[in-house]
Homo-oligomer: A and B are copies of this chain.
Amino acid sequence: MRDGHIERLIQLLARLPGLGPRSARRAALHLVKRRDTLLEPLARALNAVADAVRPCSTCGNLDAVDPCGVCVDGRRDPSRICVVEEVADLWALERAGVFRGRYQVLGGTLSALDGIGPEDLNIASLIARARKPEVREIILALNATVDGQTTTHYIHDCLAACDVDVSQLAHGVPVGGELDYLDDGTIGAALKSRRRM
Q: How many residues of A contact B (CB 8 A)?
A: 52
Which residue in B32, B62, B69 is a CB contact (below 8 Å) of A53? B32
Which residue in B2, B3, B15 is a CB contact (below 8 Å) of A38? B15
A52 within 8 A of partner (CB):
yes
Which residues of B lie under 8 Å from residue A90 when comparing CB positions?
1
Having A1-B94, A9-B46, one finds 11 other A-B pairs with CB under 8 Å, namely A1-B90, A3-B53, A3-B62, A3-B69, A6-B53, A9-B48, A16-B27, A18-B27, A26-B88, A29-B86, A40-B46
Residues of A whose CB lies within 8 Å of any CB of B are 1-6, 8-9, 12-13, 15-19, 23, 25-32, 35, 38-43, 45-50, 52-53, 61-64, 68-70, 86-88, 90-91, 94
